[in-house]
Amino acid sequence: MNQFVMQGSFFAHRALTRDVRLLNAIAQRVDQLKQQQLDAVVKWYEFFWNMMEAHHAAEDDLLFRAVEERLDAPSEVIEVMEVEHNRLQFLIDEIKRLLGELQRKGVDALLSKELQFNTSELLKVFMGHIAKEEAYMLEKMTAHFSPDEQRRIEEEVKRKAPVRYLSYMIPWLHDALSAEENTLLDESLPWTARLMNKWFWKNRYDRLMRPLKGMANL
């Protein structure tokens, strides 16, 4: 059996999980938010929406296809996961619409209830989805792909990241990982990226995230 070396894909799941939980916590308190706070949520959500959409596109177009090509057969598990991606995409699009409506109208009981339902559903579907996906990918990658092949696939997946948010990627991951995982992440980065993150990227990301973390703890 091969070694599993695609930790980066799972690290992205940690960051997305943190964001989905954060979003749901804020949604439960959305009636308490002021206009300036709603504006900050909408600004951050644009980032989150792009990251989730790009992540799923990379899995559909690259990761899942690579597995099916190696198996030389369609996978029922992958078919289910692609359906779940569609469900997740519908939910994040709907949440984007609801946040925009709340930003324009202010406090609205019906919109708030809809937002709370959709963020709770997003959290439930996403958590079940990544548990299934990680178990399946760990099994298939270690059984059918060498470490070098896994690294090549992961490099292709990374290139699917939204260009406008590349400077956010490292601090976004750092913010969600354990100390041990952060060490693994740093070891995989060139020294220039670590330096840029320390002096510039982390500060930019913190400015985006700081208001959201405060709202989640109202």
> Rounded to whole angstroms, how far apart are CA atoms 39 and 211?
10
Separation between Cα atoms, residue 29 and residue 119, nearest integer Å: 12
Q: What is the pLDDT along the chain (218 residues), one digit of tens a residue?
A: 789 999 888 999 999 999 999 999 999 999 999 999 999 999 999 999 999 999 999 999 999 999 999 999 899 999 999 999 999 999 999 999 999 999 999 889 999 999 999 999 999 999 999 999 999 999 999 999 999 999 999 999 888 888 889 899 999 999 999 999 999 899 988 999 999 999 999 999 999 999 999 988 75
Q: What is the pLDDT of residue 218?
A: 55
* Domains held by the chain: number: 1
| C-beta neighbour count of 52 within 10 angstroms | 21
CATH number of the CATH domain containing 103 = 1.20.120.520
Q: In angstroms, how far is CA 189 from the centroid of its own chain?
A: 20
Output the pLDDT for position 148.
95
What is the token pair recorded at 18?
Answer: 């943190």
Tokens at residue 186, please?
Answer: 């740093």
* Residues in the chain, overall count: 218
- Rounded CA separation 155/199 (Å): 25
Residue 22 lies in a domain: yes
| Per-residue pLDDT tens digits for 43-79 | 999 999 999 999 999 999 999 999 999 999 899 999 9
Interatomic CA distance for residues 152 and 187, integer angstroms: 17
**DSSP character string of 101-123:** HHHHH---HHHHHHHHHHHHHHH
Which amino acid appears at position 34 of this protein? K
In a domain, residue 141? The reply is yes
CB-based burial label for 74 (10 Å; 0-12, 13-18, 19+)? exposed
Residue 16 resides in a domain? yes
pLDDT of residue 49: 96
**Is the residue at 2 inside a domain?**
no
pTM given for the model: 0.93
Structural domain range at position 74 = 7-162
Q: What's the whole-number average pLDDT of the chain?
A: 94
Residue 188 domain flag = no
* Inside any domain, residue 75: yes
In a domain, 170, yes or no: no
Question: Does 218 fall in a domain?
Answer: no
